[in-house]
A and B are shown apart, each in its own frame.
Chain A
Amino acid sequence: MKLLIKNGTVIDPVNKIESAMDILVEDNKISNVAKGIKIDADTIIDATDMIVMPGIVDMHVHLREPGREDKETIASGTMAAAKGGVTTVLAMPNTTPAIDSKKNIQAVKEIIKSSAYIDVLISGAITKGRLGKELCDIAEMKKEGVLAITDDGASVDDEKLMLTAFSMAKKDKMLVICHCEDKDLASQGVVNLGFASTRLGLRGISNESEYKRIERDIKLAKKTGASIHIAHLSCRESVDIIRKAKKNGVNVTAETAPHYFTLNEEAVLDYNTNMKINPPLRSKEDVEAIKQGLKDGTIDVIASDHAPHTENEKEIEFEYAESGTIGLETGLSAGITALVDTGLLTWSELVRKMCSNPAKILGIDKGALGVGQEADIIIVSPGKEWVVKKKNFISRSRNSAFIDMKLKGAVDCTIYKGKIIYGNGAK
């Protein structure tokens, strides 16, 4: 089987390509990237005026299966991912049960094998049941193919335990993904502390609750030499701290999510629970700082933190509603709209943040279009404008902070391991 993608503008920063190229895919691999490839292919896609880039590697996704299949399943989540141009996800381990043992890893692997439309990589919990009390067997999880450990959804409060976790992770060459939130400092908040909390009469979440915990984890990383990745940066101080830590040679990388550079706390002012996210949508100044962090390279990765919730969990009183927004189907478009279209990032920079950097951090051979690599390729219509509509989501949940937002740039076609799985004739 030969698939030829012709006349597109190929963006592949790893191979330093940012020009009109053709890509030939044979079976599941890329076999040639060159100008004017002439070959008798089974399928030819004309990508004139289109961007051709690696499939997105989204390293922060909550697929909810097993346990909360009413919110999302591995099938529905990966189908939604395909629509958003995502061909690899790292699934978060806060399922029910948590992914914290060989048995649970094997069970989730079975579901992935039978139902996933794209690559689903597994992260394991740091502590058993994500309770912050007892460490998981990191070496065993490593053997089972776990690529990172995280208690995402919670931070490990016990500093001594986290220190031990970092030491073990260092020994077993395991990445630690840190959800940085000091629950005491967050004092049961539900929106950003300041303008939003004061106007709405709701408890506020301080920037401190995030950056103090980042400071702690960076200190522990320095002590142990562990590689850590800070999830979902939302505020200015966090960016400053990581910038400094990187200068000082700490093994730290950082991620933010599209909502933190697209929306600010004002989006919450009508008590729309889809805007209830943890960490919260922050001030305009924080949004600017996140953008600067993306620009200057402090923030390596854009990941969705796709967090599906049912309507029953969202259409209730604000303080009782679950936190989180879905993001798999809107992430790339939000990035194009807020970062590329505004001139803040180049296409290559965006592709680094969404494809090659997360691949590098996870140590997988993805996120680029080199000859011999698996053909995970997306074709993007860069100028296409569309309005996000609740009814059009493929995800099993509809809790999107982007509903009714006008976005620029849309995925036209997603190719996973050489097969078209979304758009352009795919079913």
Chain B
Amino acid sequence: MPKQTKKKPKWIHKDLLGLEYLSNEDIILLLDTADSFREILDRTIKKVPALRGKTVVNLFYEPSTRTRVSFEIAAKRLSADVINIATETSSVKKGETLNDTGRNIEALKADIIIVRHNCSGAATMLARNVNISVVNAGDGWHEHPTQGLLDIFTLRKKFGHIEGLNVSIVGDIAHSRVARSNIWGLTKLGAKVTVCAPDILIPPGIEQMGVSVTNDIDEALYDADAVNVLRMQFERDEKAAFPKQLEYFKKFGITEERLKKTRKNIIVMHPGPINRGIEISSKVADGANSVILEQVTNGIAVRMAVLFWLSQAMDKGNKHEASD
């Protein structure tokens, strides 16, 4: 009889907290799995039984209909039951702590918590304190890993590969979890990433994450295969001089004129919701270069892949326990 070799499990993570913590093999596994789920979405019967009998809880401390709905559809396509908990505030002074809420959800025998929180690191802390899976659906300015994955998935569908692509991320890098997840994921897969913003929106030491930095939007776009345009929020209470809306659009807004000057036929992405005329012109948003709506559809497939592998890892873990 041939010697039994223990096969390394394909996926070992209990949680998805950020793309920083995944290997490039992990990311590719998620993208490949998302590919097959993406096909299901175009069928007339869009449901598979992979998560039948599982309960997925959307725990949202920030209002975000689009992300919540995308996760909800993804879970339902996999036949999971979905519960939505929306809490506007997560004050430490009143009410239950995040850890206690998480432990309660665990005691209710849920299988996966999808958490959106205004504090960076909230998902990491929650994951340390519960035994069930935690998916980070955006924590403060830190990471939004499924958004990063769906952006990368969309790029891979367009170009067939990620390695060697020039991707520019434009906008409020300092306060963007989307930017951080994109940077980690893209650089791991061998893309060249450039971030572009006014100095005040570039966090110090970002180069150490493996990106180039520029303040010149035309330079950022010239050689780019794709540009990821971040949503600009001008209501932040930063004391430092924040760029004015109009001035920002003039200097950094993605317009047709700007796209005409680039070397390649550039793909335009946006995590949404878009601010027309603020970071992107309507013509570009609705134009031929835009993949913004494809991103939305791809988001479901990517989230299905994430939920699928997390529940696989947990099932394996349980079986392992039982056989000991």
Residue among B98, B120, B124, B141 facing the most chain A CB atoms (10 A cut-off): B120
Please tell me if the beta carbons of A198 and B203 are within 8 angstroms of each other in the complex. Answer: yes
Please tell me if the beta carbons of B143 and A317 are within 8 angstroms of each other in the complex. Answer: no
Please tell me if the beta carbons of B98 and A316 are within 8 angstroms of each other in the complex. Answer: yes
| Chain A count of residues within 8 A CB distance of the other chain | 20
Binds B, one of A114-122, A187-195, A395-403, A419-427: A187-195
Please tell me if the beta carbons of A318 and B206 are within 8 angstroms of each other in the complex. Answer: no
Minimum CB–CB distance for A159 against chain B, Å: 20
Residues from chain B with Cβ under 8 Å of A312 in the complex: 97
Residues from chain A with Cβ under 8 Å of B205 in the complex: 194-195, 198
Please tell me if the beta carbons of A201 and B124 are within 8 angstroms of each other in the complex. Answer: no
The reply to whether the CB of B155 lies closer than 8 angstroms to some CB of chain A is: no
The reply to whether the CB of B160 lies closer than 8 angstroms to some CB of chain A is: no
Please tell me if the beta carbons of B119 and A318 are within 8 angstroms of each other in the complex. Answer: yes
Please tell me if the beta carbons of A315 and B204 are within 8 angstroms of each other in the complex. Answer: no
The reply to whether the CB of A204 lies closer than 8 angstroms to some CB of chain B is: yes
Please tell me if the beta carbons of B209 and A199 are within 8 angstroms of each other in the complex. Answer: yes
Of the residues B121, B177, B206, B239, contact of A317 by C-beta under 8 Å = B121
Residues from chain A with Cβ under 8 Å of B90 in the complex: 317
The reply to whether the CB of B180 lies closer than 8 angstroms to some CB of chain A is: yes
Minimum CB–CB distance for A187 against chain B, Å: 7
Residues from chain A with Cβ under 8 Å of B143 in the complex: 201
> Closest chain A residue to B91 by CB distance?
A320
Please tell me if the beta carbons of A317 and B204 are within 8 angstroms of each other in the complex. Answer: no
> Closest chain A residue to B173 by CB distance?
A198
The answer for the CA separation of A194 and B177 in the assembled complex, in Å, is 16
Please tell me if the beta carbons of B204 and A198 are within 8 angstroms of each other in the complex. Answer: yes
Minimum CB–CB distance for A284 against chain B, Å: 12
> Closest chain A residue to B20 by CB distance?
A199
Residues from chain B with Cβ under 8 Å of A199 in the complex: 20, 180, 209
Please tell me if the beta carbons of B204 and A200 are within 8 angstroms of each other in the complex. Answer: no
The reply to whether the CB of B122 lies closer than 8 angstroms to some CB of chain A is: yes
Type the 1/0 row for A194-235, where 1 means its CB is closer than 8 Å to any CB of B: 110111111010000000000000000000000000000000
Please tell me if the beta carbons of B121 and A200 are within 8 angstroms of each other in the complex. Answer: yes
Please tell me if the beta carbons of B92 and A195 are within 8 angstroms of each other in the complex. Answer: no
Residues from chain A with Cβ under 8 Å of B175 in the complex: 201
Residues from chain A with Cβ under 8 Å of B192 in the complex: none
Please tell me if the beta carbons of A201 and B140 are within 8 angstroms of each other in the complex. Answer: yes
> Closest chain A residue to B124 by CB distance?
A271
Please tell me if the beta carbons of B124 and A202 are within 8 angstroms of each other in the complex. Answer: no
Please tell me if the beta carbons of B141 and A316 are within 8 angstroms of each other in the complex. Answer: no
The answer for the CA separation of A270 and B206 in the assembled complex, in Å, is 18
Please tell me if the beta carbons of A271 and B121 are within 8 angstroms of each other in the complex. Answer: yes
| Chain B count of residues within 8 A CB distance of the other chain | 30
Segment 72-129 of B: residues with Cβ below 8 Å from A: 90, 92, 97-99, 117, 119-122, 124-125, 129
> Closest chain B residue to A206 by CB distance?
B204
Please tell me if the beta carbons of A202 and B204 are within 8 angstroms of each other in the complex. Answer: no
Residues from chain A with Cβ under 8 Å of B124 in the complex: 270-271
Of the residues A197, A271, A318, contact of B203 by C-beta under 8 Å = A197
Residues from chain B with Cβ under 8 Å of A18 in the complex: none
Please tell me if the beta carbons of A201 and B92 are within 8 angstroms of each other in the complex. Answer: no
The reply to whether the CB of A157 lies closer than 8 angstroms to some CB of chain B is: no
The answer for the CA separation of A319 and B20 in the assembled complex, in Å, is 20
Please tell me if the beta carbons of B92 and A317 are within 8 angstroms of each other in the complex. Answer: yes
Please tell me if the beta carbons of A198 and B209 are within 8 angstroms of each other in the complex. Answer: yes
Residues from chain B with Cβ under 8 Å of A318 in the complex: 119-121, 125
Type the 1/0 row for B181-209, where 1 means its CB is closer than 8 Å to any CB of A: 00000000000000000000001111011
The reply to whether the CB of B38 lies closer than 8 angstroms to some CB of chain A is: no
Please tell me if the beta carbons of B119 and A319 are within 8 angstroms of each other in the complex. Answer: yes
Minimum CB–CB distance for B187 against chain A, Å: 13
Minimum CB–CB distance for A34 against chain B, Å: 56
Please tell me if the beta carbons of B209 and A317 are within 8 angstroms of each other in the complex. Answer: no
> Closest chain B residue to A319 by CB distance?
B119
The answer for the CA separation of A200 and B121 in the assembled complex, in Å, is 7
Of the residues B129, B142, B204, B208, contact of A201 by C-beta under 8 Å = B142
Type the 1/0 row for A44-88, where 1 means its CB is closer than 8 Å to any CB of B: 000000000000000000000000000000000000000000000
The answer for the CA separation of A204 and B208 in the assembled complex, in Å, is 16
> Closest chain B residue to A204 by CB distance?
B204
Of the residues B99, B125, B180, contact of A271 by C-beta under 8 Å = B125
Of the residues B120, B140, B204, contact of A194 by C-beta under 8 Å = B204
Please tell me if the beta carbons of B92 and A202 are within 8 angstroms of each other in the complex. Answer: no
Residues from chain A with Cβ under 8 Å of B174 in the complex: 198
Type the 1/0 row for B225-238, where 1 means its CB is closer than 8 Å to any CB of A: 00000000000000
Task: Given A201-B141, A202-B141, verify A315-B121 contact (CB < 8 Å).
Answer: no
Please tell me if the beta carbons of B122 and A197 are within 8 angstroms of each other in the complex. Answer: no
Please tell me if the beta carbons of A193 and B121 are within 8 angstroms of each other in the complex. Answer: no
The answer for the CA separation of A233 and B177 in the assembled complex, in Å, is 32
The answer for the CA separation of A187 and B204 in the assembled complex, in Å, is 15
> Closest chain B residue to A321 by CB distance?
B92
Minimum CB–CB distance for B98 against chain A, Å: 7
Please tell me if the beta carbons of B180 and A201 are within 8 angstroms of each other in the complex. Answer: yes
Segment 268-319 of A: residues with Cβ below 8 Å from B: 270-271, 312, 315-319
Minimum CB–CB distance for B217 against chain A, Å: 22
The answer for the CA separation of A49 and B99 in the assembled complex, in Å, is 48
Residue among A194, A270, A317 facing the most chain B CB atoms (10 A cut-off): A317
Segment 139-154 of B: residues with Cβ below 8 Å from A: 139-143
Residues from chain B with Cβ under 8 Å of A319 in the complex: 119-121, 140
Please tell me if the beta carbons of A195 and B142 are within 8 angstroms of each other in the complex. Answer: no
The answer for the CA separation of A318 and B208 in the assembled complex, in Å, is 23
Residues from chain B with Cβ under 8 Å of A194 in the complex: 204-205
The answer for the CA separation of A317 and B124 in the assembled complex, in Å, is 9
Residues from chain A with Cβ under 8 Å of B20 in the complex: 199
The answer for the CA separation of A20 and B143 in the assembled complex, in Å, is 58
The answer for the CA separation of A199 and B20 in the assembled complex, in Å, is 9
The answer for the CA separation of A24 and B122 in the assembled complex, in Å, is 57
> Closest chain A residue to B176 by CB distance?
A201
The answer for the CA separation of A201 and B117 in the assembled complex, in Å, is 13
Minimum CB–CB distance for B237 against chain A, Å: 10
The answer for the CA separation of A317 and B98 in the assembled complex, in Å, is 8
Segment 149-190 of A: residues with Cβ below 8 Å from B: 187
Which 6 pairs of residues, A with B, have the shortest CB-CB distance? A201-B141, A271-B121, A201-B142, A317-B119, A201-B120, A198-B203
Q: List 15 A-B contacts (CB under 8 A).
A: A193-B204, A197-B204, A199-B20, A200-B120, A200-B142, A201-B175, A201-B177, A202-B120, A315-B129, A316-B98, A317-B98, A317-B117, A317-B121, A319-B120, A320-B119
Chain B positions within 8 Å of A, measured between CB atoms, are 20, 90, 92, 97-99, 117, 119-122, 124-125, 129, 139-143, 174-175, 177, 180, 203-206, 208-209, 239
Seed contacts A316-B99, A317-B92; 8 additional CB < 8 Å A-B pairs: A194-B205, A195-B205, A201-B177, A202-B141, A204-B204, A270-B124, A271-B120, A318-B125
